[in-house]
Amino acid sequence: MSSRKSKSNNIIHAECLSQVQRILRERFCHQTPHTNLFGVQVQYKHLIELLKRTAIHGESNSVLIIGPRGSGKTMLINHALKELMDIEVVSENILQVHLNGLLQINDKIALKEITRQLSLENVVGDKVFGSFAENLSFLLEALKKGDRTSSCPVIFILDEFDLFAHHKNQTLLYNLFDISQSAQTPVAVIGLTCRLCLSEDRSVREVLQRHFNISKNLRSLHTLLMLALTRVTVSHPFLTAADLMEANQLCSMDSKANIVHGLSVLEICLIIAMKHLNDIYEEEPFNFQMVYNEFQKFVQRKAHSVYNFEKPVVMKAFEHLQQLELIKPLERTSANSQREYQLMKLLLDNTQIMNALQKYPNCPTDVRQWATSSLSWL
Amino acid sequence: MAPYHTRQKIRQTYSWIGRPLLDRKLHHRTYTEICVKIEGCSTPVHIQVGQFVLIEGDDDENPYVAKLIELFEDDFELHSKKRARVQWFVRFSEVPAHKQRLLGRKPDAQEIFWYDYPACDSNISAETIIGPVQVVALAPDEVIPVDLKNEKIFFVKLSWNEKKFRPLSPELFAELEKLQESSPKCQKSVEAMTKNIESPAWTTTEQVVKRIESSHSASKSRQTPTHPVVPTARKRLELGSFPRTPHTKISQPTSQASLDSSGRTKRKVNFSETTSQTKRSHLYRSEMSSPALKIPEKTGKVQPFCAKDVKKASPKCCMILRTRVPALKTTQINEERTLTPVKGGQRPSVPSVVLKPENIKKREAKEPETQNQATATSHRIRRRSSLLTLNRIRQQLRVLENNKSDQEEEEFLPTAEVSDSSSEEEEASTPALSRRNTRCISRNLRPFLKPSIQTPSKTPKKMAKSRTPRCATPQIRSRNLTTPEPASMLEEARLRLHVSAVPESLPCREQEFQDIYSFVESKLFDRTGGCMYISGVPGTGKTATVHEVIRCLQQAAQANDVPPFQYIEVNGMKLTEPHQVYVQILQKLTGQKATANHAAKLLAKRFCASASPQETTVLLVDELDLLWTHKQDVMYNLFDWPTHKEAQLVVLTIANTMDLPERIMMNRVSSRLGLTRMSFQPYTHSQLQQILGSRLKHLKAFEDDAIQLVARKVAALSGDARRCLDICRRATEICEFSHQKPDSPGLVTVAHLMEAIDEMFSSSYITAIKNSSVLEQGFLRAILAEFHRSGLEEATLQQIYSQHVALCMMEGLPYPTMSETMAVCSRLGSCRLLLVEPSRNDLLLRVRLNVSQDDVLYALKEE
Restricting to B residues 642-671, those with a Cβ less than 8 Å away from any Cβ of A are 656
Interface test with B, best of A42, A141, A193, A200 (most B CBs within 10 A): A141
User: In this structure, are residues B781 and B821 in contact, taking their beta carbons and an 8 Å threshold?
Assistant: no
The highest-confidence range among A144-153, A356-365, B109-118, B293-302, by mean pLDDT, is A356-365
Restricting to B residues 50-79, those with a Cβ less than 8 Å away from any Cβ of A are 58
pLDDT, position B772: 77
Neighbours of A141 (CB within 10 A): 18
CA–CA–CA angle B356, B360, B364 (5° rounding)? 170
The whole-angstrom separation of Cα B286 and Cα B361 is 9
Restricting to B residues 260-299, those with a Cβ less than 8 Å away from any Cβ of A are none
User: In this structure, are residues B852 and B834 in contact, taking their beta carbons and an 8 Å threshold?
Assistant: no
Which one, of B731, B733, B742, B682, lies nearest residue B705 by Cα? B731
Side by side, the strands of the sheet bearing B834-836 are: B795-796, B846-849, B834-836
How many Cα atoms within 13 Å fall on the side-chain side of residue B142? 20
Q: Is B423 on the interface with A (CB under 8 A)?
A: no
Question: pLDDT of B780-820, one tens digit each?
Answer: 999 999 999 998 888 888 889 989 989 988 888 888 888 88
Q: What is the average pLDDT across B108-120?
A: 74
Closest Cα of chain B to A133: distance in Å?
6
Neighbours of A292 (CB within 10 A): 18
pLDDT, position B669: 79
User: In this structure, are residues B777 and B768 in contact, taking their beta carbons and an 8 Å threshold?
Assistant: no
- Interface touch A151/B831, C-beta < 8 Å: no
The whole-angstrom separation of Cα B543 and Cα B607 is 25
Backbone angles phi, psi at B748, to 5 degrees: -80, 120
Question: pLDDT of A8-46, one tens digit each?
Answer: 666 777 777 777 777 777 776 665 555 566 667 777 888
Neighbours of B300 (CB within 10 A): 15
Query: Quick one: pLDDT band at residue B610, thresholds 50, 70, 90?
Result: low
Q: Is B445 on the interface with A (CB under 8 A)?
A: no
Residues in chain B within 8 Å Cβ distance of A129 = 469
Smallest Cβ–Cβ distance between B469 and the set A66, A124, A151 belongs to: A124
CA–CA–CA angle B564, B570, B571 (5° rounding)? 145
pLDDT beyond 80 at B561:
yes
Restricting to B residues 607-646, those with a Cβ less than 8 Å away from any Cβ of A are 623, 626
The whole-angstrom separation of Cα B126 and Cα B69 is 11
- Interface touch B480/A93, C-beta < 8 Å: yes
Lowest mean pLDDT: which of A168-177, A284-293, B105-114, B255-264?
Answer: B255-264
Smallest Cβ–Cβ distance between B475 and the set A145, A180, A196 belongs to: A145
Question: pLDDT of B198-212, one tens digit each?
Answer: 444 344 444 444 444
Q: Which residues of A177-186 are buried (b: 16+ CB within 10 A; e: fewer)?
A: bbbbbbbbbb
Lowest mean pLDDT: which of A96-110, B54-68, B724-738?
Answer: B54-68
For residue B35, give every residue at least 6 positions away whose Cβ sits within 8 Å of its Cβ, in sequence order, or none. Answer: B14, B15, B16, B17, B44, B45, B46, B47
Tell me the average pLDDT of chain A. 75
How many Cα atoms within 13 Å fall on the side-chain side of residue B596? 13
The alpha carbon dihedral of A199, A204, A208, A213 has a sign of negative
Interface test with B, best of A87, A145, A330 (most B CBs within 10 A): A145
The whole-angstrom separation of Cα A111 and Cα A108 is 5
- Interface touch B474/A122, C-beta < 8 Å: no
**Better pLDDT: B317 or B540:** B540
Beta strand pairing status for B616-622 and B565-571? parallel
- Report the share of chain B in percent with pLDDT over 70: 54
CA distances (Å), A274 to each of A280, A294, A318, B344, B839, in order? 10, 8, 11, 97, 22
Residues in chain A within 8 Å Cβ distance of B798 = 349
Closest Cα of chain B to A126: distance in Å?
9
- pTM for the predicted model, two decimal places: 0.54
Residues in chain A within 8 Å Cβ distance of B574 = 136-137, 140, 171, 174-175, 178
pLDDT beyond 60 at A217:
no
pLDDT, position B769: 81
Which one, of B204, B84, B183, B59, lies nearest residue B132 by Cα? B204
Question: pLDDT of B258-271, one tens digit each?
Answer: 444 444 444 444 44
Interface test with B, best of A47, A148, A150, A245 (most B CBs within 10 A): A150
User: In this structure, are residues B607 and A204 in contact, taking their beta carbons and an 8 Å threshold?
Assistant: no
- Report the share of chain B in percent with pLDDT over 90: 2
Query: Quick one: pLDDT band at residue B457, thresholds 50, 70, 90?
Result: very low
The whole-angstrom separation of Cα B779 and Cα B799 is 11
Q: Is B806 on the interface with A (CB under 8 A)?
A: no
Query: Quick one: pLDDT band at residue B633, thresholds 50, 70, 90?
Result: confident
* A/B interface, count of CB pairs below 8 Å: 222
Residues in chain A within 8 Å Cβ distance of B486 = 57
Question: pLDDT of A68-88, one tens digit each?
Answer: 777 777 878 888 888 888 887
Question: pLDDT of A245-277, one tens digit each?
Answer: 777 777 777 788 788 888 888 888 899 899 888
3-state secondary structure B750-788: HHHHHHHHHHHHCCHHHHHHHHCCHHHHHHHHHHHHHHH
- Interface touch B580/A254, C-beta < 8 Å: no
For residue A57, give every residue at least 6 positions away whose Cβ sits within 8 Å of its Cβ, in sequence order, or none. Answer: B483, B484, B486, B491, B495
Which one, of B477, B535, B847, B497, lies nearest residue B663 by Cα? B535
pLDDT beyond 80 at B639:
yes
